[in-house]
Structure 1
Amino acid sequence: MNRTQRYRLHQSLGYHLSLVARMQERRLDDWLRPLGLTRITWCILLAVENEGLARPSAIADFVGIDRTATSRALRQMEEAGLITRCSASTDRRMTDVTLSDKGRELVKEGTPLAEENNRLIAEKLSGADKQQLEQLLLKMLKGEELALKKL
């Protein structure tokens, strides 16, 4: 790198990616908060309800957070009455997660909010632009560690 050249934060790809991600995250957080949800708890609800995942390790992998963060979130969600945890029927050492009626209701209430949040971002791009952006983002993720310590 040329020592005389200055790093221009506002001209960097990473900065722009971060801005778009934070904008989307902040709006979703703001919309989920009245439901008593965070992005993490929202993602866990989706993992269980929409993806059929029951094991905490599978949920952690799906959400992209470590096992400790998943365990903490599941404990809070259980205390809030959103999920139940019980020993797996096939192996008592394993835990299965299921949604409560309250958890399922929150998925129904939160889905239009998440869809609208995605629509607000996507409407700025043409169909071809969206497809190209998705391909480029997947290319950028290739070979990267996807589990995030904080989401």
Structure 2
Amino acid sequence: MSNVPEPFATTLHIRDHCLCLATQQAARALSRRFDEVFRPLGLTSGQFSLLNSLNRPAPPTVGQVAETLAMDRSTVTANLKPLERSGVVISTVDPDDRRGRRVALTAVGRDLLAKATPIWVETHRTVEAELETGGGDRVRGDLRRLLGR
């Protein structure tokens, strides 16, 4: 193992070619964009995704939400706490497994999601319009392949 740092040219190459870095940068830029449009509702892009993952016929378990969002359970639980405090979601003991929890939207949460969804639709349409023709489908397909889906 060498104590000599990599040449700066390697750093520039990684900066310009790293798919992980480019994906992280794009994700941050998209999150900021959606955070801005959701701000009047007091909602973040992450919270919108979380609320949307709860919009199911039956309340999901925390594990099911974690799987949907590709997050670990402890992160989902931490992100649910402020939404519970604000009355947007409710968490109950899972009747099928008393060790687990199920999470559901409250009436306030359903109303908030109903207000946020048209904002998402319009912003998402604008974002996709900025991509090359077919870009949205191509990007989603490529990302799903990387996820193994």
Give the TM interval when normalised to the shorter protein. 0.7 to 0.9
Q: Normalized per residue, which structure has more helix?
A: 2
Matched, 1:99 2:102: no
CA offsets 1:50-87 (integer angstroms, 9 cap, x no match)? 57552111111111221111111222211110111122
Residues of 2 paired with 1:115 and 1:62: CA distance?
A: 20
Aligned to 1:63: 69
1:1-150 → structure 2 map (5 Å cutoff): 6-7=9-10, 8=12, 11-14=16-19, 15-50=21-56, 52-142=58-148
User: Which deviates more, 103-112 or 68-77?
Assistant: 68-77
TM-score after normalising by structure 2: 0.77
Of all paired residues, the percent bearing the same amino acid is 23
CA offsets 1:110-148 (integer angstroms, 9 cap, x no match)? 1112222221221123543333333333334449xxxxx
Query: Residues 52, 29 of structure 1: CA spacing in aligned structure 2 closer, same or farther, 3 A cutoff?
Result: farther
RMSD: 2.6
* Contact preservation (8 Å) 2:62, 2:100: no
Structure 2 unaligned regions, length at least 5: 1-5
Residues of 2 paired with 1:54 and 1:61: CA distance?
A: 11
Residues of 2 paired with 1:28 and 1:105: CA distance?
A: 18
**Counterpart residue type for residue 6 of structure 1:** A
Query: Residues 52, 118 of structure 1: CA spacing in aligned structure 2 closer, same or farther, 3 A cutoff?
Result: farther
Higher relative contact order (CA closer than 8 Å, sequence separation 6+): 1
Q: What displacement does 1:16 show?
A: 4.1
Q: What displacement does 1:31 show?
A: 1.7
